[in-house]
Chain A
Amino acid sequence: MQEHRAGPEVKAETPVQATLRRAVFALLVTVSLVALVVGKAEVYVFDWVKSGVGDVLAPVLQTVTLPVRAARDIGSNLGRVAALTEENAQLREENARLRQWQSLALRLDGQNRELRRLLRFDPGEEIRTVAARVIADTGGPYARSMLMDAGSRQGVRADQAVISGEGLVGRVMSAGARSARVLLITDRRSHVPVLAGPDRVHAILVGNNSARPHLRFLPRNAALAAGDVIVTSGRGGIFPPGLPVGDISAAARSGGGVEVVPHVDWTRLEFVRVIDRDAPDVACRGIDAGASRPGGARGGSRCKHYRAAAHLACALDRRPRRACPCRCGSALLGRTAPGPCAGAFRLCCRPHA
């Protein structure tokens, strides 16, 4: 192995140069510390920087990850060749079963449409989606996020839900012009209001930077079993209701909550869809019509500037605090217990990107 050797002689720096160098070094350390403190106080300040860097590096990352993806696919496919015969037999069996379900579904769909027509049922808001390719798993040791190749030019904005064919992936954290960063449901900053099990118990799915997020704020008497399905509840206004998220794992309830196995296979995630609900202030209308009027009372201005879960802000600002059913995050959970929940309030009310 080659040995290190002394480099060429360098000219010694003058005292002034040394002082200047130390001053620059100290200044940069201070700037780093200030950036950390500012970022902690208001997490959205540096989003535009990160979005810009993502936009610039998106083509590079896309190119760099191509051979990695190809190698991973080859390895994965080789491993599956051996199991193809058995898988084929299983698929035939499943196909036959699904055909029966299809005929049942078609019959029920016709019946459903007929009944809706009779009731003049309003199907609610139409959901538009934007397809995107995952170009990089950018999360480091301290984050679980990814970069996709659709940004504000394609209609992607912060706080939109992101799904795959398997289930909920996460939400858009920040959007640049051509790329956007998605916060995965496994990241510790992710909090998703969900319904758990056949009893549809309200809970919050909280990421922990591992492959298995936890359910928190479950009622004490919640009866959940391994394999119970978790879907989004729709509370909070970010995630539409009914999106499949995962299953409760076989592991017993631990101190950190119930473990959930997400439906999404993170290692094979290639394409996603971004749900564009495009309904700002929609939640405000249900609480207080006056609150969403521009130039109205305090609640109005807040609802104008805060999109997600604006109903909470309305409830907070338009009513006396004592009369408020919930002061903050507990409203998301459908609980009335008061408590120190400033963090949850921040979760509910994100400013427009």
Chain B
Amino acid sequence: MPAPFVFAVGLTHDSVADAPFGLMALVYLFVLGAARSQRFLVVGQPFVAGWAVFTVVACAASALAWLGASLYYGAALSVGAPLAVLLLTVLTFPAVAGALAVLDSAALKRSA
């Protein structure tokens, strides 16, 4: 995914979720950088390995977002809501990844 697109998605997220403007854009760029440099860890690996790597990246992204927001507001923010979001993200990964894999297969078949 191109970096400008990821940046735009991040800014949209910031606008909708009323987060500090630029925070999620920065976090998504971090995730993009991590995905690009570490993709060899998941390519060709079993699904569970991919899920584990996703969980690690999601944890790091959540920690970065929490740290950024805490620095922005000048106080240690509550970790309850970010943890709930993280848990939901990690738990819904199989369903979302499965749906995307089906779409990917269909697109490949159509283009073949």
Contact = CB atoms under 8 A, between A and B. Distances in A.
A138 interface: yes
Contacts of B45: 3-4
A109 B68 CA distance: 55
Nearest to A60: B16
A57 interface: yes
Given A24-B4, A25-B3, A53-B16, A209 B77 contact: yes
B85 A33 contact: no
Interface string A1-14: 11111110000000
A151 to B, nearest CB: 15
A35 B18 contact: no
Q: Is the interface of B mostly helix, strand, loop or mixed?
A: helix
A19 interface: no
A6 B17 CA distance: 35
A138 B3 CA distance: 25
A143 B3 contact: no
B25 A35 contact: yes
Given A4-B45, A4-B50, A39-B21, A50 B85 contact: no
B68 to A, nearest CB: 7
A31 interface: yes
Interface residues of A, number: 40
A24 B3 contact: yes
B42 interface: yes
B16 A1 contact: no
Interface string A140-172: 111101000000000000000000000000000
Given A25-B3, A28-B4, A40-B72, A142 B19 contact: yes
A253 interface: no
B7 A31 contact: yes
Interface string B1-38: 00110010011111111111111011001001100000
A1 B3 contact: no
A21 B75 CA distance: 35
B56 interface: no
Contacts of A208: 78
B79 to A, nearest CB: 9
B69 to A, nearest CB: 4
B5 to A, nearest CB: 10
A35 B27 CA distance: 13
Interface in A20-50: 21, 24-25, 28-29, 31-36, 39-40, 46, 49-50
Nearest to B24: A140
Nearest to B13: A140
Interface string B38-74: 0000111111101000000000000001101100110
A54 B15 contact: yes
Given A32-B23, A138-B16, A188-B73, 16 more contacts: A2-B47, A3-B45, A4-B44, A4-B47, A5-B44, A6-B43, A25-B29, A53-B12, A142-B17, A142-B19, A142-B77, A142-B82, A143-B17, A145-B18, A188-B75, A210-B78
Interface of B: 3-4, 7, 10-23, 25-26, 29, 32-33, 42-48, 50, 65-66, 68-69, 72-73, 75, 77-78, 81-82, 84-85, 94, 98, 101
11 contacts: A1-B94, A3-B46, A29-B26, A32-B7, A39-B72, A57-B16, A141-B69, A142-B17, A142-B20, A173-B18, A188-B75
